[in-house]
Amino acid sequence: RLAVQGTARVMFARHEGQDIGFIFGGMLGPCYRGQQFSYDAAWKDLSIGNLLQVEQIRWLCEEGAVRYDMGTASGEPMAYKLHWTEAHPTSQTWFLQPR
């Protein structure tokens, strides 16, 4: 839906014709919501993930974006977000059952 609406933002890192990383998200007005990014582990030492984040932020600033929402940074799997974010919201899931 983001692509059809023209609000998707996708970027690929490539080397010699091979994809080595990507970053994907979408715009809602002036706010960007990051959805996913990943990179080839063979390129870890060159910080491809960080480079994709920096370039995405640069592009978003040029576009006039005012916020980059990375979602929750809770838990060890999301710890990489902490140095990119100003606020660290948490989310909880509750299951309600009728009596």
Which DSSP string do the residues of 1-57 spell out, in sequence order?
-HHHHT-EEEEEEEETTEEEEEEEEEEETTEEEEEEEEE-GGGGGGTHHHHHHHHHH
Q: Is residue 95 part of a domain?
A: no
pLDDT at position 88: 64
What value does the mean pLDDT take over residues 48-74? Answer: 88
The domain spanning residue 26 has which CATH number?
A: 3.40.630.30
The pTM is what?
A: 0.73
Distance between alpha carbon 40 and the CA centroid of its chain, in Å? 16
pLDDT at 27 over 80: yes
Distance CA 25, CA 33 (A): 6
Residue 17 is assigned to a structural domain of this protein:
yes
Q: Which has the higher per-residue pLDDT, 93 or 80?
A: 93
**Structural domain includes residue 99:** no
Residue from 62, 3, 53 nearest 30 by CA: 62
**Per-residue confidence band for 89, with pLDDT thresholds at 50, 70 and 90:** low
The reply to whether 59 falls in a domain is yes
Kindly state whether residue 93 falls inside one of the protein's structural domains.
Answer: no
Question: Residues 6 or more apart from 66 whose CB is under 8 A from it?
Answer: 30, 31
Q: From CA 85, how far away is CA 50, in angstroms rounded? A: 13
Domain with 62 in it: 2-84
Indicate whether 12 pLDDT > 90.
Answer: yes
For the segment 49-66, the average pLDDT, to the nearest whole number, is 93
Domain presence at residue 94: no
For the chain, the domain total comes to: 1
**Strand pairing of 8-15 and 18-28?**
antiparallel
28-35: average pLDDT: 92
